[in-house]
Amino acid sequence: MTTVNAAASGTFAIGGDLTVNRLGYGAMRITGEGIWGEPKDVEGAKKVLRRAVELGVNFIDTADAYGPGVSERLIGEALAPYAKGVVIATKGGLVRTGPNKWEPVGRPAYLRQEVELSLRHLKVERIDLWQLHRIDPQTPVEDSLGEIAKLQKEGKIRHVGLSEVKPHEIEQAQKVVKIVSVQNQYNIGDRKHEDVLEYCEKHGLAFIPWFPVAAGKLAQPGGKLDAAAKKNGATVSQLSLAWLLHRSPVMLPIPGTSSVQHLEENVAAANVKLSDAEWAEIEAAAR
């Protein structure tokens, strides 16, 4: 029987000094419906978090907006004090006014308040990777990230990343604070951010794809992805994650789930290996 461990996905050093296994865990789904409020099964959510670490997942991504505050708090309760090498990334810059409602707010005072609350909820003295969840069109990014640079100098943030940005926005942000990662929507069937991935490869930034599993027509039963998955004894989800790991050495997929069984299935994707010819065939089908 093959051992299931995220270490099989290889490693990447975020910011050059935070080495993590490339297959991580996204903690958005351990909240209530609409990413709002408490999960139906609080203890079950904590079990998922603990099992992730047992399976070698040492990169966990969350946000203060998940709940809001719920995902961070559960991570702190379930995992602190953290096992050596476990990296918790969080995000700030979105305000929640109800289920499925997300509004960007990048005012410096608001971001500082978010960071302070994240530190408290996660039970840490310094956030390993803090990411600007969205650029606020009402606030110059220089003002937003200027405050984050101050918090970094105060020792409350180690590294800084961005989410849902284009290369020119990364360049703009880099003038204010060193950017080490980008989190954009990306999967085998949705590749509108190829330019951002290429930028990250060129500059050694981590690329963290959210919504990493292929959906829609590409993932339908009987399709090319389904056939390739069956041939390799994998699920379409596993093949989608394995493709991301194959696609680029800077890729850090963070599939999320509230189920231990589904978590184990996702981590097993690290063991899915295809030949170059098989990947080329899947690429052709995806395009």
Provide the annotated active-site residues: 66
CA atoms within 13 A on the CB side of 181: 33
Tell me how crowded residue 21 is: count the other CB atoms within 10 A of its CB.
23
Question: Going edge to edge, which strands form the sheet with 87-92?
Answer: 25-26, 59-61, 87-92, 127-132, 157-163, 179-185, 206-210
Q: What is the CA radius of gyration of the chain?
A: 18
End-to-end CA distance of the chain: 35
Contact assessment for residue 63 and residue 57, using Cβ atoms and an 8 Å cutoff: no
Helix (H/G/I), strand (E/B), else coil: 40: coil
Residues 6 or more apart from 43 whose CB is under 8 A from it? none
